[in-house]
A and B are shown apart, each in its own frame.
Chain A
């Protein structure tokens, strides 16, 4: 007698596999080794935490009193250094009475950055908005029009400089890197060679030396009487540096596109640029979102190197604020924790946003 096919109805799993308790059981107390580790780490945290809270909170001095801070040394944090110096740390050498200008300029730019991350704003006028934002930023910072006192670019500093350098160099380097990556895979030997030389040259030197060249050597080669603003030179330096690294990331994505995609596009009669724009880049860039964002974050932090050419961005401004002041110099750690928090806020936001973007671009790949 032939067996009849009897479908077995689906039933729920006998033990819960989702939720907090199963998660804890599986990940923290999976076997005796992880259980011991969990207990030891918990004990360590309980041992260290009270001291840390005491130092940072209950024993800490929040007012700008250098004497009180001296007295509390070793037992409590001196947040007073931030209370006292935050304007120099945030705005660098920018003249004190005019600091409302970088404040507004930075807020406008950060608001524009946040807006650009939201899907609703991805409309054609976003470009126009950015042009407006940049005009507002540079007019406010530089002055010289609308009755604003002119402020030389070498006096710009602190967070506004950090945000502006990172934003502009990322925006400029990204399209450049895509072109260089495409160029490196071009069939035309001249273009390919030029791109390879550019990438290898830039990758072969540290960012510091690029900045040195942009700042000190480049002017020597300029014709007499002609100068380019140091900030512009440094911005170009960072952009060229970042683009070389990003080009290699993009190239990784390009190489992961199966040849069949190109053949299908060719068969349909798409031109080279149509194929790149409609088929290759959307897929290649979607694949490299994590490493691209990694690079963006690294550029944001690398802007701290412009201090060595006397542009005092956030990190440089901190040194500026404390090095010359004997009263407050001992409390560098607290001040560094302050700018650490600022850097972390920006970088963590970027990293979270990257996860969201990854989810968006993987829509087509989920079944």
Chain B
């Protein structure tokens, strides 16, 4: 497949000697594809996407991101991280820097942009996530939803080709989930390749090209959203869906 941007080939990962957290993962992500990954906690879904930008290392198999194979080589890791943006469950904004400083830090120090240009780019991204008026505040002065939108803008400032979302709405108050999802839906509409670990099934139905269900370190089932939700094949998937959609 020529337009594959991420491929996993028989990837295996262990924590320590005995905890086999990823088992024979085979996955190909097409350029511009939007994937939602769900599954019970401990199923390895966060670990899977954290492998894509080398926050986790793996012991067996091969991961290729945008033509670069991820190895121990620092250059390869750097090259991949330049293409991949990430949004975390706990936002991980830098609390001692203002919003705009959070956004300009990497473009200035990694991308070597002049300050004015980095700020201009940052303001554009803040407008994109509709939070430009908070640019001079500190992260902890913002609500959770606002902080997560700043985190998305920060990742976008490096113009990534792929965006990873690791449970982006799980730490948010119910009233704030929508503002973050709206930003993500908009992003999806603009053709960004996205891998998103989430339990927001509404989001999955609205934007995903494919839903992946994981359990015990394996990909149990993957399918287009309507097929996945209406016609799950494995019993494990049915059981999981009945639990999270049941109430």
Contacts and interface: CB of A to CB of B under 8 A. Distances in A.
A352 to B, nearest CB: 23
B53 interface: yes
A260 B78 CA distance: 18
Nearest to A282: B96
Interface in B57-91: 78, 81-82, 84-86, 88, 90
A263 B94 CA distance: 11
Interface stretch (B6-14, B104-112, B208-216, B220-228): B104-112
B155 interface: yes
B109 A267 contact: no
Given A267-B86, A364-B140, A286 B96 contact: yes
Contacts, number: 67
A365 interface: yes
A119 interface: no
A269 B82 contact: yes
A167 interface: no
Contacts of B98: 364
Given A263-B88, A266-B81, A270-B110, A364 B155 contact: no
B55 A268 contact: no
B92 A270 contact: no
B92 A365 contact: no
**B85, B94, B110, B138 pick with most chain A CB within 10 angstroms:** B94
B141 interface: yes
Nearest to B93: A264
B106 A260 contact: no
Contacts of A263: 55, 88, 92
A170 B97 CA distance: 28
Interface of A: 258, 260-261, 263-264, 266-270, 274, 278-279, 282-283, 286, 361, 363-367
Interface of B: 53, 55, 78, 81-82, 84-86, 88, 90, 92-98, 105-106, 109-110, 138-141, 154-155, 158
Return the 8 tightest CB-CB contacts between A and B, nearest first: A264-B92, A268-B106, A260-B92, A269-B110, A364-B138, A267-B86, A364-B96, A269-B81
21 contacts: A260-B92, A261-B94, A263-B88, A263-B92, A264-B88, A264-B93, A266-B55, A267-B86, A267-B155, A268-B81, A268-B105, A268-B106, A269-B110, A269-B158, A270-B105, A283-B94, A364-B95, A364-B96, A364-B140, A365-B138, A366-B140
